[in-house]
Structure formats: structure tokens, C-alpha cells
């Protein structure tokens, strides 16, 4: 995924827009021609049949890729394929529906079943989802046995596609697969795919970026169910007779392996995986759906090896070979070209920040917040106020409740009592709605979408202000294309402002700690917060790097954005903040101007010791130039 | 009336097998935060290897049992070292799930290949009773000692593991890991070795369950997946990772399945099991005995 947007942004200005727009059309034309002439090149009908079976599976594989991208490793693909196959066959037998209409029926039924069943299942963790979906196939089988007069019971049903030659069948199935592939690509490269991938990294982080993780998971699972229904319907038309034995757990695992082998969350990966696991058995004279113990053993070994050795799959391997040359930085290579890292551009950053919501409304009131976990009071009636545009320091010993307080301000932790309001309005929803209301957040350890580029990571933040619908992104409607172009440009400006301009296409996993922190802060700022919560933003950074973060926080104040800074670095807090609040064992023991708090005997006793008194004599200007 | 009593007894008997397998799942999850997808396959190995060594090759019962549990414990330990170690610390749970799924497929297909290598089509073995007494009759209720003995075995095994967790050095280490993994590492506990011990113990319990439950489940190379599912449901109902949870959950699940089979039709067993799981997760996600909600 990482290489593509870079091409869009950095492509030479000389290439005309006409040319840029016609390249994808040209690619499409080539693919269609290849699909059309392929049957003629096959040495025998078995090869063509095998390829058609692979193409029939493709929609399910692409759908499964979307589901897994959001963290739902479904093992119930065969259940949805079975529903799809039965829908097409039974609607043909009982109501004489045309197969195309039958597939439409399959899509509707599978989408409905997928949506309804995913709502409880997707609240679970990865393993529980796998277990629950693994049982779907048995449930579908049990239902079809129970209504045997309608479904044919254990014998199954048969419906024929009529007078269609194998070449025509290939053409229909392959073109259907192509259409689904384009849809899948557009979804993955748009805000939908970015939201799914940050969801898989961590739902707390996703929520703090205003991403509705739960809805995206359900949506991805619903699309997956519908696409699996299409695959089942196509397969039924290809084969004819079907029964509950037609699709078993083995098929679900094979399709999962196609996704994993190709590369989860990549655009081309599932296609590569499907081709590999179709063509290799074909040469060994097997169709990809059948085969005995030996094949299963090989598949098990492939699955284990891919996860352990090349978790990015075939697509990742291919990208690794090309990107290190194109982008000037391979995996982990931070010193490519020996160039020193670019500094942040304060003017550009100030300009970007001034485009935000403006100075109004960043006033935070935390009133008497109590939070109890397992009988232990973590926060015992904490109150604090941050004036609009001020920098508030939050310090205290380990375990004093600093991070819990941040969590209860941005909604990641529910509170037992108390109120939080921003700009005079009470905010009490979940983290996602608070992020929309203007609460930004960074975490002690920067959580990024590792396999995505710097540009795409920034786009996740910008997506919080998305206007075009996901449908228009999926279909590449003009409104979505316009928005995508604008957002790419804006993301590139954020990157340049943060000194990441040269790394737009670099994978997040290859960044240094400094770059990761800047990217995380930039991603949070791109959501246009009124209040930014920074949880130990300089942890692990060195002198100059710390100064950069300090400079950014000062720019926030200048732009009227309020900041809460949780930090162990006492000098930094005292030098930078307008007010300081000290927590100890879940209670505020002091609050006020740094010069006052520093001399508070309770603070000295609880936390700072004598070092801060000694610091009194030292020039604070050293850390606040 | 006698139908009901019989369904309850059979439910407790199969539930005891779920409880044993679920106990293994819980031991591993408590210490490492990983669910081993291959757990059911190790039960299968226990049953297949057990019937081969004891019934076919004629080893004494006790010796066969020891060899079997050592073998499955070794497979469990190897799973941790090769397939889980590098993935369990990552945030992305899909990785270890997929790698243990890979291990499950490898074990299952290898067993199928071995069991059918002499041209045999059949990857199933009939597992003879090792307790020949009975059946006893209580009114119209027929109690087969070979089956009923599984109930005290499951309880005693759980008691033994529970005691080991509190008394033995390694057991206490695992308990510390279960309470706070990062804290255990910071206080200098050998968390790497403890993870291997947890997987080995999980494998041992699975192999033991496969052997002692063999006369009820019979032996088949295909039996693993279903057992992993049932064990996970039993553990979830009981409350993961509570050590006594699988006994409670196994009983609920086993009885639920047998009542379904008796009164509704055996094809509805899986749908009812799934419904039980979803209802528990919706109403009491921490399980019957659990105290805090965990994302599984």
C-alpha cells in the first residue's frame, strides 16, 4: 500500500493530468484483453476449469482480506459461500430466477446474516471470533438438514447454468472478480481501509482519532459475507450440484491462507495468494478446493512459515524489493544517503495550525472525577481547569493516576462520578465522540499503522474531517477523488511541517523514535483538536529532539490550542507550562503556577524532593530558550 | 424422567472431557495471553497415540499413558518455542492465532497421513474400554463406570493443577505471570521458560484428556477442531482464565448438548452450543466464575 500514494504526490509535474487519468484505463484494458484471450492459451479444459474455480473464489478472498484487515480472522467463509450457493440454486429451482438475480439474492441474504451475526461476535477478541465463525458452517448445515423439503437435505440440490461454454463461464466469473477487485482496492486505499488498519492496531488509538472501530468492523464483515455469497453463487453455477459437503472448513482455511500468503491488508496480496494457490495445485493436477492430507500438511507449513518469516506476505516481499530503491529508505535503513534528518518547519506548522477551529472553545473543566478499578480508587475526586490555549502540566509519581486522568478526559476510561466539559459543553460520550468534539490524544508508546506509509498515517487523522461517503470512495466518484487529492496535499504539508517531507512514502515501521513521535503528534493535530493530551511525548528522546517537541507545544499555545502535558521531565514541565497540577495517589495535592507549585511543601515531600529547590537557582531559560 | 437423568449423566461425562481440554487452554492463556488453536489436536494425538500404544502395540496401560502425555507435553513446548514465542508479545493477536492454527493443521494432517499410510482409508480407531466393569443399573438409568469415571478424573485433575499453581515453584511462577505478565518479567522471573512450561503443561493435560476420554470420544484424526471449540466454549462459560471455570462451563455445555440431542434433535447441537456461547458473552462476559471482563 505504501508505494502508491507517493506516486500520486511526487509524480513529476510535467506529466499531464490527461495522461495520469488514462494510465489506469489502459491497465484495465490490458487486464480485460488478457482475461478474454486466456481460455485460448490453455492446453486443456482442466486448466481452464481450475482457473475458473480460482476466479470464483476471488470475491470471497478479497472480502476476507477486508475482514482480517479489521482484525476479524473469520473461519466461516464456507458458511457464507454455502448460503450464496443455496440462494442461487434454490431461487432457480423454486422461482425460476435468472442466476444473476440469484446472486443478487445471495448478496442480500449473506449481507444480512453477516451484519446480524457480526454485531455480537466482533465485540470479542481475535480467538473468539475465529471460534464463533468456525461454527457458522455447522449451523448452516444444521439448518439445511432441518428444512430438508426445501433444501434437499443431505443430498443437496442441483441447478445448471444452462448452455454456457467453459470459456464463457470463465469470462463471466473473471470479469466479476475484476469488478470486485477494483472495489476492494478503492475501499482499502481510501478512508475505509485506513480506518480498518488502525482499528487492528488498537481500538483505543482508533477511537482517539474519531474512528468508529466497531462500525468499521461490522461493515467490513458484512461486505465480506456478501462477497463470499457471490463466490458461493459463482461456484454453484460452475459446478451444478451442491450440498452441505461442498464447502467445508478446509475451504475456509484455504481462502484464509490465500489472504495471509498474499499479505493481509495489501491490495494485490489476496490476488497473488489466490493465483499462487490456484496455479500450483493446478500444475499438480488438483483443484484448489480439494486434496488430501499431503496438501493440508503443505498448507499448514506455508501458513506457519508465512506468519513467522514474512508476515507481510508475497505483496510485502515484492514491495520490499522495489521500495528500497525507489524511496531511498528500505526497511529499517535510517541512514540511507547519509542525509541528516530534516528539522521541523515552524512557519509551515504555525500556518497549518491557524487553519484549524481557531482559539475558541479549548477551555477544559474536569470536575470531581472519581475512577475505581477493582475496588481500588485510582482517581479520588480530581478537579482541574485548563484555560483556552494554555499549557497545563500534569505530574506525579508513578501510579498516581496521570494516564487514567487523561483516559477519563478523552473517554477511554469510564468514570464513576464527576464531569468533564470542553468549551463549556459537557462531553461524556465514548472516546470517538470526544475526539470529534475536539479532544486529541497521543500515547506513551506511539501506535502507528506500521505497514502503511507516513502519508497514510497522517491521512488517518485527516479522515476525521471526511465529507465524501465511503460509497463514493469505493466507486471513485468525483467528490471523493477531489477530496482525496486535497487531503493528500494537506497531508504532504503536515509531513513537511514536521520534517517528514522526505519520508512520505516510508513505512511507519522503518521510522526512528523521533520520527514516530512527530508522526503521532502530526496525526493527532490533523484531526484539528481544540485540546491535545500529550502522554509523555519526550520519553525516549534526546536533547534536540526534546526541543522540537517543546517548540511544537509552544506553537499550539500560539494557535490557541489547549494542551495537557504528562511528563516525568520536571524541568521541562516547570519551564514550559502555564499551570502545573500535581497528582499523588489519585488526588490533586497542588495546582497553580509553576513557580508556586515548585515551592509547595506537599509537592516536595511527595514527589520532587529537593532537586526542584536546587533548580530554583539554575537558569530555567536553559530549557526554555 | 429417566430420559432427563440419562441426558444429565451423559452431559456431565462429555462435559468432563471439555473441562479437561478447557483447563489446558486456560493454563496456557493465563500465563502467556495466547490461546493455542492446536489444543484439540493434542487431544487427538493423545487418543490416537494412546490406542496405538496400548490397544494395538500392547504396552501396559500406565506406561502408555506416561508416554502419551510426555509426547503431547513435548509438542506443546515445541509449539511455544517455534510458533508462538516471537508473536505473543505483539499487539496483533491475529498473528499467534494464525501461527497456532498452522500448527493445528500440521498436526492434524500429519496424523492423517500416518494413520492412513498403509493404504488404509480410515483415519479412525475404536478405543476399547480400560475399565471393564458394569454397566450398573439405577432404575432405568444405566451407568457405565468407564464413562462415569471421567467426572471424578476431571475434578481431581483440576484440583491437582490448582494445588500445583499454589505450592510448586514453577506453578507459583505461572500464577505470578497470570496476575501481571510485565510485572513478573520486571521482578526477574524467567518468563520465557515459564511460557514453555505453560505450553508443556497444557499439552500434557490435552494428551491426558485424549487418553482417558478415548473410550467416550473414540479416536479419529478429525476430532481436534470440534474439541478446541467445545473446550473454548466451556472455558468461556466458566470464566477465562479461572482454573475451576472449565468444570462449570463443561458441565453446562455438555448437559446443554445432551438435552438438545434428547429433546430437539442431534443436528441442533452445534447451533445450541454457539447460542450458549453468545448468550454468556452478552449477559456475563466474564463467565460464571470470572471477576473481570477480558477481551478474548
Domain that holds residue A84: 34-249
Burial class (CB in 10 A: 0-12, 13-18, 19+), B62: exposed
Q: Is the pLDDT of residue A5 over 90?
A: no
Closest listed residue to residue A508, CA positions, set A198, A268, A254, A196 = A198
Burial A189-198 (b: 16+ CB within 10 A, else e): bbbbbbbbbb
| Domain end call among A194, A216, A249 | A249
Average pLDDT on A247-264 reads: 91
Helices (H) and strands (E) in chain B, counts: 13, 4
Helix (H) or strand (E) holding A562: strand A562-566
Say if B278 falls within a structural domain: no
Residue A457: pLDDT above 50? yes
The answer to whether residue A313 is domain-embedded is: no
Condensed to tens digits (0 to 9), the pLDDT of residues B171-198 reads: 888 888 887 777 788 788 888 899 999 9
The pLDDT assigned to A6 comes to 42
In chain A, what residues touch B268 (CB-CB under 8 Å)? 142, 146
Question: Cβ(A418)–Cβ(A381) under 8 Å?
Answer: yes
pLDDT digits (tens, 9 = 90+) for A205-239: 999 999 988 899 999 999 999 999 999 999 999 98
Grid cell, residue A165, equals 461454454
Among A219, A249, A279, the domain boundary falls at A249
Question: Do A98 and A226 have their domain in common?
Answer: yes
Specify the CATH number for the domain of residue A464. 3.40.50.300
Task: Give the whole-number percent of chain A exceeding pLDDT 90.
Answer: 31
Q: Is A389 helix (H, G, I), strand (E, B) or coil?
A: coil
Nearest chain A CA: its distance from B121 CA (Å): 11
In chain A the first and final C-alpha atoms are separated, in Å, by: 42
What's phi and psi for A183, nearest 5 deg? -60, -45
Tell me what pLDDT residue B151 has: 94
Task: Locate the chain A residue with the closest alpha carbon to B235.
Answer: A128
pLDDT at A398: 79
For chain A, say whether B78 makes contact (Cβ under 8 Å): no
Q: Are residues A105 and A244 in the same domain?
A: yes
- Residue A374 vs residue A327, higher pLDDT: A374
- Tell whether A368 and A222 lie within a shared domain: no
B87 → chain A, closest CA residue: A308
Residue A286: per-residue pLDDT:
62
| b/e code A298-325 from CB counts within 10 Å (16+ = b) | bbbebbbebbbebbbbbbbebbeeebee
* pLDDT beyond 60 at A327: no
Supply A76's cell numbers.
Answer: 466461516
Give yes or no for B189 touching A (CB within 8 A).
no
Is residue B260 in a domain?
no
Size of interface A-B (CB pairs under 8 A): 127
Residue of B105, B111, B233 for testing the chain A interface, max A β-carbons within 10 Å: B105
pLDDT at A291 over 50: yes
Residue A276 covered by a domain: no
Contact A307 B87 (CB under 8 A): yes
Q: pLDDT averaged over chain B?
A: 89
Q: Which residue has the higher pLDDT, A242 or A619?
A: A242
Q: Name the phi and psi angles at A230, rounded to 5.
A: -60, -45
A372 and A514 together in one domain: yes
Query: Number of structural domains, chain B?
Result: 1
- A150 and A43, same structural domain? yes
The DSSP element (H or E) to which A86 belongs, if any, is helix A77-95
Residue A329 has pLDDT above 60, yes or no: no
pTM (2 d.p.): 0.87
Cα atoms in the 13 Å half-sphere on the side-chain side of B126: 2
Q: Which of residues 229-288 of B touch A (CB under 8 A)?
A: 229, 232-233, 236, 265, 267-268, 270-271, 273-274, 277-278, 281-282
Contact B229 A135 (CB under 8 A): yes
Domain boundary among A249, A276, A298: A249
Q: What pLDDT shows up at residue B293?
A: 53
pLDDT at A288: 52
Q: Which pLDDT score is estimated for A357?
A: 60
- Report the C-alpha gap between A87 and A77 in whole angstroms: 15
Residue B21 falls in which region: left (phi positive, over 0), alpha (psi -120 to 50) or beta: alpha
In a domain, A78, yes or no: yes
How many structural domains does chain A have? 2
The answer to whether residues A184 and A63 belong to one domain is: yes
Residue B8 lies in a domain: no
Cβ of B166 under 8 Å from any chain A Cβ? no
Residue B85, phi then psi, degrees to nearest 5: -45, -50
Which residues on B lie below 8 Å from A311 (Cβ)?
A: 95
Q: Indicate whether A396 and A517 sit together in one domain.
A: yes
**Given this model, what pLDDT does residue A356 score?**
66
Q: Using pLDDT thresholds of 50, 70 and 90, give the confidence band for residue A620.
A: very low
Asked if the structure places residue A177 within a domain, the reply is yes
The reply to whether residue B296 touches residue A297, judged by beta carbons under 8 angstroms, is no
Q: For residue A159, what are the contacts with CB-CB under 8 A and spacing of at least 6?
A: A88, A89, A90, A92, A93, A236, A237, A240
Range from A148-162, A570-584, B37-51 carrying the lowest mean pLDDT: A148-162
pLDDT surpasses 60 at A498: yes
Cell of B293: 471482563
pLDDT at A68: 93
Average per-residue pLDDT for chain A:
84
Flag whether A197 is in a domain: yes
Residues of A in contact with B225 (CB under 8 A): 134, 249
Q: Which three three-digit cell numbers place residue A403? A: 494516564
Q: Average the pLDDT over A349-355 and give the result.
A: 85
Residue among A123, A256, A304 whose CB faces B103 most closely:
A304
Residue A7 pLDDT: 41
| Helix (H/G/I), strand (E/B), else coil: A366 | strand
Residue spans of chain B under pLDDT 50: none
Maximum average pLDDT range among A512-516, A613-617, B4-8, B17-21 = B17-21
Distance from CA of A204 to the nearest CA of B (A): 12
Interchain proximity A300–B109, CB inside 8 Å: yes
Q: What is the DSSP secondary structure assignment for residue A607, as one 8-state letter?
A: I
In a domain, A329, yes or no: no
pLDDT at A44 over 90: no
CB contact under 8 A, B271 and A143: yes
pLDDT reading at A334 higher than 70: no
What sign has the CA pseudo-torsion A549, A552, A554, A560?
negative
Is residue A24 domain-resident? no
pLDDT on residue A624: 31
For residue B98, give the nearest of A121, A142, A303 by CB distance. A303
A375 pLDDT higher than 80: no
Nearest Cα neighbor of B45 from B102, B104, B99, B120 is: B104
* ipTM of the complex model: 0.91
Domain that includes residue B61, residue range: 16-134+144-222
Going by their DSSP bridges, the two strands A417-422 and A425-426 should be labelled as antiparallel
Minimal Cβ distance to A299: which of B82, B105, B229:
B105
Domain membership of residue A274 (yes or no) is no
> Which residue from A120, A146, A297 is facing B278, i.e. has the nearest CB?
A120
Amino acid at each position: 500500500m505504501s508505494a502508491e500514494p507517493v506516486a500520486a504526490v511526487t509524480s513529476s509535474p510535467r506529466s499531464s493530468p490527461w495522461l495520469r487519468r488514462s494510465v489506469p484505463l489502459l491497465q484495465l484494458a490490458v487486464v480485460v484483453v488478457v482475461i478474454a484471450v486466456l481460455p485460448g492459451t490453455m492446453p486443456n479444459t482442466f486448466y481452464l476449469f481450475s482457473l475458473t474455480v480460482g476466479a470464483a473464489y476471488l470475491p470471497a478472498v478479497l472480502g476476507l482480506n477486508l475482514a482480517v484487515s479489521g482484525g476479524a480472522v473469520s473461519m466461516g467463509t464456507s458458511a457464507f459461500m454455502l448460503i450464496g450457493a443455496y440462494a442461487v440454486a434454490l431461487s432457480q429451482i423454486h422461482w425460476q430466477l435468472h442466476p444473476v438475480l440469484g446472486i443478487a439474492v445471495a448478496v442480500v441474504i449473506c449481507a444480512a446474516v453477516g451484519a446480524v451475526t457480526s454485531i455480537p461476535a466482533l465485540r470479542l477478541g481475535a480467538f473468539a471470533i475465529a471460534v464463533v465463525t468456525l461454527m457458522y458452517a455447522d449451523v448452516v448445515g444444521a439448518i439445511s438438514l432441518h428444512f430438508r423439503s426445501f433444501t434437499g437435505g443431505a443430498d443437496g440440490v442441483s441447478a445448471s447454468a444452462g448452455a454456457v461454454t467453459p470459456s464463457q463461464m470463465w469470462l463471466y466469473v473473471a470479469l466479476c472478480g475484476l469488478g470486485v477487485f477494483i472495489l476492494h482496492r478503492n475501499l482499502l486505499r481510501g478512508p475505509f481501509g485506513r480506518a480498518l488498519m488502525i482499528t487492528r492496531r488498537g481500538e483505543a488509538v482508533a477511537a482517539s482519532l474519531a474512528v468508529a472501530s466497531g462500525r468499521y468492523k461490522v461493515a467490513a464483515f458484512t461486505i465480506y459475507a456478501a462477497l463470499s455469497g457471490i463466490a458461493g453463487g459463482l461456484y454453484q453455477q460452475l459446478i451444478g450440484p451442491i450440498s452441505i459437503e461442498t464447502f467445508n472448513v478446509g475451504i475456509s482455511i484455504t481462502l484464509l491462507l490465500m489472504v495471509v500468503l498474499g499479505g493481509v491488508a495489501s491490495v494485490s496480496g489476496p490476488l497473488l495468494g489466490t493465483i499462487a494457490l490456484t496455479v500450483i495445485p493446478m500444475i499438480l493436477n488438483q483443484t484448489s478446493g480439494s486434496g488430501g492430507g499431503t496438501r493440508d500438511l503443505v498448507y499448514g507449513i506455508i501458513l506457519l512459515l508465512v506468519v513467522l518469516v514474512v508476515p507481510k506476505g508475497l505483496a510485502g516481499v515484492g514491495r520490499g524489493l522495489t521500495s528500497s530503491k525507489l524511496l531511498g529508505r528500505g526497511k529499517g535503513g535510517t541512514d540511507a544517503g547519509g542525509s541528516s534528518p530534516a528539522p521541523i518547519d515552524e512557519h509551515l506548522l504555525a500556518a497549518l495550525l491557524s487553519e484549524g477551529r481557531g482559539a475558541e472553545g479549548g477551555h477544559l473543566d474536569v470536575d470531581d472525577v472519581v475512577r475505581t478499578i477493582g475496588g481500588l480508587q485510582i482517581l479520588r475526586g480530581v478537579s482541574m481547569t485548563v484555560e483556552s490555549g494554555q499549557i497545563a502540566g500534569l505530574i506525579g509519581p508513578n501510579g498516581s493516576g496521570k494516564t487514567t486522568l487523561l483516559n477519563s478526559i478523552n473517554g477511554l476510561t469510564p468514570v464513576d462520578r464527576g464531569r468533564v466539559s470542553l468549551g463549556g459543553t459537557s462531553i461524556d460520550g465514548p472516546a470517538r465522540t470526544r475526539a470529534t468534539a475536539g479532544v486529541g490524544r497521543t500515547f506513551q508508546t506511539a501506535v502507528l499503522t506500521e505497514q502503511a506509509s507516513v502519508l497514510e498515517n497522517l491521512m488517518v487523522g485527516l479522515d476525521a474531517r471526511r465529507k465524501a461517503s465511503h460509497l463514493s470512495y469505493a466507486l471513485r466518484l468525483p467528490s471523493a477523488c477531489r477530496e482525496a487529492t486535497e487531503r493528500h496535499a494537506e497531508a504532504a504539508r503536515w509531513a513537511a511541517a514536521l520534517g517528514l517531507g522526505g519520508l512520505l512514502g516510508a513505512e511507519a515501521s522503518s521510522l526512528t523514535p523521533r520520527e514516530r513521535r512527530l508522526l503521532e503528534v502530526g496525526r493527532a493535530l490533523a484531526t484539528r483538536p481544540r485540546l491535545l493530551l500529550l502522554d509523555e511525548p519526550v520519553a525516549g528522546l534526546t536533547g534536540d529532539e526534546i526541543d522540537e517537541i517543546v517548540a511544537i507545544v509552544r506553537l499550539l499555545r500560539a494557535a490557541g490550542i489547549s494542551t495537557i502535558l504528562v511528563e516525568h521531565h520536571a524541568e521541562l514541565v516547570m519551564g514550559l507550562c502555564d499551570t502545573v497540577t500535581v497528582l499523588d495517589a489519585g488526588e490533586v495535592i497542588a495546582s497553580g503556577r509553576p513557580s508556586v507549585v515548585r515551592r509547595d511543601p506537599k509537592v516536595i515531600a511527595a514527589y520532587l524532593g529537593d532537586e526542584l529547590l536546587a533548580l530554583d537557582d539554575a537558569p530555567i531559560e536553559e530549557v526554555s530558550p | 424422567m429417566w430420559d432427563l437423568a440419562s441426558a444429565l449423566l451423559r452431559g456431565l461425562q462429555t462435559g468432563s472431557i471439555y473441562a479437561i481440554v478447557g483447563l489446558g487452554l486456560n493454563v496456557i492463556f493465563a500465563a502467556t495471553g495466547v490461546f493455542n488453536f492446536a489444543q484439540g489436536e493434542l487431544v487427538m494425538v493423545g487418543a490416537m497415540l494412546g490406542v496405538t500404544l496400548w490397544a494395538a502395540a500392547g504396552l501396559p496401560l500406565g506406561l502408555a499413558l506416561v508416554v502419551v502425555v510426555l509426547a503431547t507435553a513435548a509438542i506443546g513446548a515445541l509449539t511455544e518455542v517455534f510458533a508462538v514465542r516471537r508473536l505473543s508479545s505483539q499487539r496483533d493477536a491475529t498473528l499467534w492465532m494464525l501461527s497456532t492454527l498452522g500448527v493445528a493443521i500440521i498436526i492434524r494432517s500429519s496424523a492423517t497421513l500416518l494413520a492412513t499410510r498403509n493404504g488404509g482409508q480410515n483415519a479412525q480407531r475404536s478405543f476399547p474400554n480400560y475399565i471393564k466393569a458394569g454397566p450398573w443399573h439405577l432404575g432405568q438409568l444405566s451407568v457405565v463406570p468407564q464413562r462415569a469415571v471421567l467426572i471424578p478424573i476431571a475434578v481431581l485433575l483440576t484440583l491437582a493443577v490448582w494445588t500445583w499453581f499454589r505450592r510448586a515453584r514453577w506453578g507459583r511462577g505461572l500464577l505470578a505471570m497470570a496476575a501481571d505478565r510485565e510485572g513478573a518479567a520486571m521482578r526477574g522471573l524467567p518468563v520465557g521458560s515459564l511460557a514453555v512450561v505453560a505450553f508443556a503443561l497444557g499439552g500434557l493435560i490435552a494428551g491426558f484428556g485424549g487418553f482417558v476420554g478415548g473410550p467416550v470420544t473414540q479416536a479419529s484424526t478429525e476430532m481436534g477442531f470440534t474439541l478446541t471449540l467445545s473446550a473454548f466454549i466451556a472455558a468461556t462459560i466458566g470464566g477465562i482464565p479461572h482454573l475451576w471455570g472449565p468444570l462449570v462451563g463443561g458441565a453446562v455445555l455438555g448437559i446443554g448438548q445432551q438435552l438438545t440431542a434428547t429433546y430437539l434433535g442431534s443436528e441442533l447441537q452445534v447451533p445450541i452450543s454457539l447460542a450458549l456461547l453468545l448468550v454468556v458473552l452478552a449477559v456475563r462476559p466474564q463467565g460464571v466464575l470470572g471477576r473481570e471482563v477480558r477481551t478474548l
